[in-house]
Amino acid sequence: MRKDISTPQYTRSIIDKHKFTFKKSLGQNFLIDRNILDKIVSTAGVTSETGVIEIGPGIGSLTEQLAKSAKKVTAFEIDQRLIPILKDTLLDYPHVKVIHQDVLEANLHEVIEHEFKDVEDLMVVANLPYYVTTPIILKLLTERLPIRGIVVMIQKEVADRLAAEPGTKSYGSLSIAVQYYAVTKSEVKVPKTVFVPQPNVDSSVISLTLREKPPVDVDDEAFFFELVRASFGQRRKTLLNNLQNNLFTKEQKPEIEEALQSVGIDGKRRGEALSIEEFAHLSNALLALKRK
Which residues fall in the annotated binding site? 29, 31, 56, 77, 102, 127
* Residue among 127, 120, 110, 106 nearest 26 (CA): 127
* Cα–Cα distance, 273 to 98 (Å, whole number): 44
Buried b (16+ CB within 10 A) or exposed e, 113-143: eebbeebebbbbbbbbbbebbbebbebbbee
Contact 63/37 with Cβ under 8 angstroms? no
Q: Which helix (H) or strand (E) holds 81?
A: none
Which positions make up the binding site for S-adenosyl-L-methionine? 29, 31, 56, 77, 102, 127
* Cα–Cα distance, 115 to 119 (Å, whole number): 9
* Cα–Cα distance, 108 to 66 (Å, whole number): 19
User: What's the angle, vertex CA 113, arms to CA 112 and CA 117, rounded to 5?
Assistant: 100
With H, G, I as helix, E, B as strand and everything else as coil, classify residue 161: helix
Contact 127/153 with Cβ under 8 angstroms? yes
Listed in sequence order, the residues at least 6 apart from 207 whose beta carbon sits closer than 8 Å to its beta carbon are: 43, 44, 149, 150, 151, 184, 185, 187
What are the backbone angles phi and psi of residue 227, rounded to the nearest 5°?
-60, -45
DSSP-H helix ranges across 92-220:
108-115, 133-142, 156-162, 173-181
Listed in sequence order, the residues at least 6 apart from 213 whose beta carbon sits closer than 8 Å to its beta carbon are: none
